[in-house]
Amino acid sequence: MSGVRTLAGIVCVLALATAAPLEARNLTVADVRRIAGQAEQAAQTLGQSRYTVAVVDRVGNVLGVYRRGGASVVTLASGLPVRGGLEKISSSATGLDLAALAAIAKAVTGAYLSSSGNAFSTRTAGYIIQNHFAPGVRFTPGGPLFGVQFSQLPCGDVVQTRNPGARTTIGPRRSPLGLAADPGGFPLYKRGQVVGGVGIVAGARSTYGLDLNPRRPRADLEERIALAAATGYRAAPAIRADRITVAGLRLPYSSSDRQIPRVSRRTPLRAKPIAVAGYTTARPKSGRIIGRIGSGLIRANARNASTALARRGAFILENGRGANRYPARSAAASTGLSRAVVNEILQQALGVANQTRTQIRNPRNARAQVSVTVVDANGRILGLARSADAPLFGIDVAVQKARTATFFSRPDSAARLNRVPAHGIAGIRIPGGAGRVNATRQLLGNVLNGTAFSTRSIGNLARPNFPDGIDGRRPGPLSNGSTWSPFNVGLQLDLVQQRVLRSAISPTRPLRSCTIRPLGLDNGMQIFPGGMPIYRGNRVVGAIGVSGDGVDQDDMVAFLGLQRASRSAVVRGRIGHAPPQRRADQAGLRYVQCPQSPFVSSNQQRVCDGI
Amino acid sequence: MVSATTAKVLRARRMLRRSLVGAALVMWGVSTLADDAPMQAPAAPQPVAERVQVLAARIVVRAAPQREARALAEVERGRQLPVLAREGDWFRVRYGTTPRAVGWVLRERGAYDQATVELLDGVAPSLMPALDAALPESSPLGVARPGGSTVRAPVLPLIDPSQVSPPAPNLPRESVPLPDRWRIMQALGFGFPWFDPYNQNVLKGDLPLTRFGPDIFFNGIAVSDTLFEYRTLPNPVPQAVSFRPGANDIFGRRQQHVVATTLLAGFSVVRGNTTYRPPDWEFRILSAFNYNHARASEAGVLRIDPTRGRGRQDEFVGIQEFFYDYHLRNVSDRYDFDSIRVGIQPFTSDFRGFLFLDQALGVRLFGNRLNNRLQYNLAWFRRLEKDTNSGLNTIFKTPRHDDTYLANVYFQDFPILGFTVQGTVLHNRNRETRDHYDTNGFLVRPALVGDVQPHAYYVTYFGFSGDGHLFWLWDRLRLNLSTSTYLALGRDDRHPIAGRAQRIFAGFHASEISRDFDWIRLRANLLFASGDSDPFDGDANGFDAIFEAPQFAGADTAYFIRQGIPLIGGGAVAFSGRNGILPSLRSSREQGQSNFINPGLQLYGVGADFDVLPQLRVTVNASYLRFMNTTVLGVLRQERDPHREIGTDLAIGLQFRPFQNQNVVLNASGSMLVPGRGLRDLYGPDQGPLYSTFANAILAF
């Protein structure tokens, strides 16, 4: 019986996803007010006189932040007994309105991680970024999206307006605190399509952290309010994270399903919208419609991109006036990365994605949807394209991955890291890069001098234990080991921490780069799979970055996409993968891992071996 | 289990009271005649009977019916003489073939009060063998069983002419004093080395430990079991480190091999009359030392830390049996009994080990009724933690929070002769809500699947099994049948895949029909285990056992039973555990919890046993396997449901017993799983067959 129900649900989702044109839905001001009103009722029901609710659209525009009872005192704390990084930063000590920032971050996370095939909440995010997957299970490797919390950063160049200082209206938008792992953020749906997200911070004191022990789940106050707020906009059960498995593990969505306060859509809203500097004014807005100019995302066509990309059904980032923010362009001539080559890589990667089985989307065996980018060896974006319904967070992450792969694969990576000095902000000491270089050398020898690192390989080095997940083993050289926490991960945070905090303190003066020295990692580095360096012969000339429907899928789309491009008539082998003897798997790290049952329309396995 | 064969025992006991040497049954029959029925004078005149038989060692044939008459001849025991005439106790008989070979013999009391000759009442002389069996139930010579009808009028047995004369107990030279009846052979001058298990040996419970009592026996056990195994299995490539540059996929190389040896050593002490009635008590301990070495072609497979290499060596000492068995009482003259056994003890829940076969800690009340036709068990077992790499009991860890309560009854010759049926009710309560990691570092409870939240389940199995011949039913077909059917009902308080409470409702059926053709046995196998069609609903319909060890469809010679194929990419679970058949997606057969959200199984098989030589048996099996429903596999790997076809399992096994006993047994087997569409969907279309080969040697003392 319930099999029939599930099937019916899936069919409905499918029907809605295909019947309704993708560009048709958005959150109106009335929707925003309704959601805020439902949050208010739920908070009242639960006896909470102090709360902040943020509503964003799918591309991260903050549509409204409502508050009653003043700002909650928010402390960033993972719950692990460690210090350092962003741990223990609190609104009381810094004077920041962390309640509003945290609510926005949660709302953005709900919107960005979800699609019409998967609804992920901030609880889901908290599950996939921990040092073990499943969290709390010893000896298991880290979560598949380990490190994703430091994407969509408030500094950087991708999720940012092109004109710093101007009123920012173009998505995808930054998140003030990166992606949130603290329960209380959910995606919002209208007729099966993600139209935004809602985030709640409630209580006189609120900890912005994560559920370290999701295997003993407890209902969460903010989650209960957020679910009540999302009444009428909730995800279909068939696409919720708890119907999606990764490596056999079912992802959590909510642990408060049975304790959602009842709300009415007619009860008038009493809370007033507030302005959050750098994010929203005190006037609620309606959400952007993806695909229309002004949303930041439009369908690729021959004029704004290329016919090949248009044929792949790609979307591109637009600048608010319909122009492609990242049209394919050539790197220096010696690199071999001409405009045509970049276009070929992008379209081949999307071609692979269109064949690839998604890992995080229902119905099962759907095609993967991803964001793909190509950068040059300096981290400059040479082109970016994405599938229509790929989760939004992948845009920024794909660029992070590509930049990370090329940064570490350059022969001078050790030297460039060594030049990052120890620094600080507001009394927080941030270590430089030299210690990481030394630790890496101690573990693996002199590998930071031209070894080809994928972001999977870098991820192997950036886990709190090496090998990943094996408790008691020494820390990964790019990680903080015993003082690791999701707020204190190691090099990934060290490189961006100062700029992240500065952006929180001065949100109206956005920074174009998150690093204090130019490293070609302007929007931060990323430490989970999906980025591969591009070589011309023995020389690294750039990288491809992919992010979307599953990390092994990201890996494979990047790996096979680059491989196919390399063999295409356009490229003719001028560029391609790192020579096998240069790859990090020669040094004991994984270079790439393609998923089980990789393709939707065949039962092939092991499609990457020997490449 | 219950093994008293009371009727035979009783008869033998009475016989032995009368005889020092354990004489032939005939003698007992004769002496019974002497005891119970003093010879009566025959009524005269009578119609002439056909024959008399000579019972005395020898008698004299005389020319006339007088003691003083001339002796004509001597006739020896057993001869049957045609009777020509009769005068009182004198019979005129023909003792030779010539017309003149006629004379008189006298019927009187001879040695042991035995008649010298006896009249045969028309019984054919060729019935000498099978003396007992040839007599119909109504025969006066029918054995008077305890609890049976009253003693019937005795009649003379036929005497085998070739039989040695019984000794005469009243002759002093034939009477030898003995310490007990078990030392007869020694008393007669036979001697055996102390280590010789094939003759009476005090270490093997053949002779009592006289120092402790006349009925205390010691039985030492020593078994060595050595295994060499090579197999191919889908192996995952370690996620976090690389040992093989260029390994770019989730599936790695498939080879694994294992060398393991187990030494079992133990003893039991028994008080009782070892052979003829259930012992009064028994204490038994059996320890096992295991050494194993395994090597896989990928790291992180045998141990979770991939940097610890691809090989693994381990050793372990386990206690497999440690119990005290007390014989509570006999409830009938035929030694129907009640007994209780406390401690670590072996138990099998049915004929083929489909549901529960373990050496668990428990208390078992068992016994029999109706002249051993009915046997029962009432038991509680708590499962012991198993050592991961040896499968042996770990007694230094807290026993598992897993209890099994069971009641079963075996009924022999029901509903037809030669067939035994069994009914079982078995309740399994598992409340293992704490994480448990195995010795290799893998989480086994709860399984690393779903949301990995700890859960408890309570399931009741209702079972009906049968085993035996169907000869009575269809005599001509001469079929044997072994069958088990189970219904599992219960609940899982929160299943980690479903994320909600589950009503467990699952079924299982297995049947094996076989027929013997001289030295060949042909078998046909059928097995169904229900599968779950919707992992997310509130019903768990996949059948799982408690701790299976099926002796079915080739058992451990067959690939699918012997090997646990891991579901790579879908959680740290395997289809069926090692030596299990149900693809129940557990973390481990030995250490995992039951899982009732599983794809189920269909098996259709044929097989044959060839007793090629008395020492050599060749077993072949072919099974076609399918899942019942693969939705759960699709859900766990987040892919389209794989095809239901698992594949075809082809197996050949050899068993060589050079001395035709169990002391030296050499086994070898090779099997191959030809992947069907389902396995090709899961592991790739080009993977080729999976192989499992092993050789093992069992040496037992």
| Out of B246, B304, B442, closest to residue A610 by CB | B246
Nearest to A475 by CA among A429, A507, A443: A443
What is the DSSP code (8-state) at residue A209? Answer: -
- For testing contact with chain B, the best of A361, A596, A604, A606 (most B CBs within 10 A): A596
Chain B residue with the nearest C-alpha to that of A7: B534
Q: Which residues of A touch B538 (CB under 8 A)?
A: 2
Query: What residues of chain A, 46 to 105, have a C-beta less than 8 Å from chain B?
Result: none
A447 touches chain B (CB under 8 A): no
Q: Which residues of B touch A470 (CB under 8 A)?
A: 240, 304-307, 441
Residue B250 and residue A245: Cβ atoms within 8 Å? no
**The dihedral sign for the CA sequence B137, B139, B144, B150:** positive
Strands B500-517 and B539-540: parallel
> Alpha-carbon distance B608 to B512, whole Å?
12
A27 to A16, A187, B494: CA distances (angstroms)? 17, 12, 37
| pLDDT for position B110 | 78
Chain B residue with the nearest C-alpha to that of A470: B305
A248 touches chain B (CB under 8 A): yes
Higher per-residue pLDDT: A418 or A610: A418
pLDDT category, A471, cuts 50, 70, 90?
very high
Residue B453 and residue A216: Cβ atoms within 8 Å? yes
A230 touches chain B (CB under 8 A): no
Residues 6+ apart with CB under 8 A from B533: A3, B541, B629, B631
A452 touches chain B (CB under 8 A): no
> Alpha-carbon distance A134 to B475, whole Å?
60
Question: A244-258, A587-601, B165-179, B477-491: lowest mean pLDDT where?
Answer: B165-179
Q: Which residues of B touch A243 (CB under 8 A)?
A: 536
> Alpha-carbon distance B362 to A445, whole Å?
57
- Token pair belonging to B387: 């050592």
Residue B240 and residue A468: Cβ atoms within 8 Å? yes
Tell me the pLDDT tens digit for each residue of A272-311: 899 998 898 899 999 999 999 889 999 999 999 999 999 9
Residue B499 and residue A250: Cβ atoms within 8 Å? yes
Residue A138 and residue B441: Cβ atoms within 8 Å? yes
From the CA of B536, how many Å to the nearest CA of chain A? 8
| pLDDT for position B177 | 67
Residues 6+ apart with CB under 8 A from B677: B642, B643, B645
pLDDT category, A248, cuts 50, 70, 90?
very high
Q: Phi then psi for B167, rounded to 5 degrees?
A: -75, 160
Residue B240 and residue A590: Cβ atoms within 8 Å? yes
Tell me the pLDDT tens digit for each residue of A169-200: 588 999 999 999 999 999 999 999 999 999 99
| Out of A244, A469, A580, closest to residue B245 by CB | A580
Angle at CA of residue B197, ends B195 and B198, nearest 5°: 130
Nearest to A506 by CA among A69, A101, A137: A101
A380 to A396, A412, B16: CA distances (angstroms)? 13, 17, 103
From the CA of A518, how many Å to the nearest CA of chain B? 30
Residue B638 and residue A134: Cβ atoms within 8 Å? no
Nearest to B642 by CA among B667, B605, B675: B675
Q: Where are the beta strands (DSSP E) in B612-689?
A: 616-626, 645-656, 664-675
> Alpha-carbon distance B533 to B531, whole Å?
6
| pLDDT for position B207 | 84
What is the DSSP code (8-state) at residue B550? Answer: -
Burial class (CB in 10 A: 0-12, 13-18, 19+), B396: exposed
A218 touches chain B (CB under 8 A): no
Strand partners, B231: B256, B692
From the CA of A531, how many Å to the nearest CA of chain B? 14
Whether the pLDDT of residue A16 is over 90: the answer is no
Residue B637 and residue A597: Cβ atoms within 8 Å? yes
Do the beta carbons of residue A143 and residue A129 sit within 8 Å? yes
| pLDDT for position B404 | 96
| Out of B443, B536, B684, closest to residue A605 by CB | B684
Do the beta carbons of residue B366 and residue B344 sit within 8 Å? no
Whether the pLDDT of residue A247 is over 70: the answer is yes
Chain A residue with the nearest C-alpha to that of B243: A588
Chain B residue with the nearest C-alpha to that of A588: B242
Burial class (CB in 10 A: 0-12, 13-18, 19+), B168: exposed
> Alpha-carbon distance A536 to B448, whole Å?
42
| pLDDT for position B136 | 45
Whether the pLDDT of residue A18 is over 80: the answer is no
A124 touches chain B (CB under 8 A): no
At position B71, the amino acid (one-letter code) is A
Tell me the pLDDT tens digit for each residue of A131-155: 999 999 999 999 999 999 999 999 9
Tell me the pLDDT tens digit for each residue of A203-238: 999 999 999 999 988 899 999 999 999 999 999 999
Angle at CA of residue B215, ends B209 and B220, nearest 5°: 50
Q: Which residues of A touch B533 (CB under 8 A)?
A: 3
Q: What is the pTM of this model?
A: 0.84
A246 touches chain B (CB under 8 A): yes
| Out of A3, A580, A596, closest to residue B569 by CB | A596
Q: Which residues of B touch A594 (CB under 8 A)?
A: 248-250
Whether the pLDDT of residue A456 is over 60: the answer is yes
Do the beta carbons of residue B55 and residue B116 sit within 8 Å? yes
At position B163, the amino acid (one-letter code) is Q
Burial class (CB in 10 A: 0-12, 13-18, 19+), A152: buried
A586 touches chain B (CB under 8 A): yes
| Out of A140, A467, A586, closest to residue B306 by CB | A467
At position A471, the amino acid (one-letter code) is D
Chain B residue with the nearest C-alpha to that of A550: B638
Chain B residue with the nearest C-alpha to that of A241: B451
Chain A residue with the nearest C-alpha to that of B308: A467
B643 to B235, B639, B640, B668, B680: CA distances (angstroms)? 21, 12, 9, 33, 9
- For testing contact with chain B, the best of A131, A218, A593 (most B CBs within 10 A): A593
| Out of B246, B571, B641, closest to residue A249 by CB | B571
Residue B635 and residue A607: Cβ atoms within 8 Å? no
B671: number of CA atoms within 13 Å, CB side? Answer: 33
3-state secondary structure of A272: strand
| pLDDT for position A217 | 87
From the CA of B296, how many Å to the nearest CA of chain A? 18
Work out the percent of chain A whose per-residue pLDDT is above 70: 95
Ranges of chain B with pLDDT below 70: 1-49, 121-177, 179, 274-276, 472-473
Nearest to B104 by CA among B88, B123, B120, B127: B88
| pLDDT for position B189 | 77
Nearest to A491 by CA among A521, A468, A530, A449: A521
| pLDDT for position B17 | 39
Residue B243 and residue A591: Cβ atoms within 8 Å? no
Tell me the pLDDT tens digit for each residue of A480-495: 978 899 999 999 999 9
Residue B443 and residue A138: Cβ atoms within 8 Å? yes
| Out of B249, B441, B449, closest to residue A139 by CB | B441
At position A72, the amino acid (one-letter code) is S
**Average per-residue pLDDT in chain A?**
91
> Alpha-carbon distance A600 to A598, whole Å?
7
Do the beta carbons of residue B542 and residue B530 sit within 8 Å? yes
| pLDDT for position B9 | 41
> Alpha-carbon distance A330 to A339, whole Å?
4
Angle at CA of residue A495, ends A493 and A500, nearest 5°: 70
- Token pair belonging to A300: 């690729």
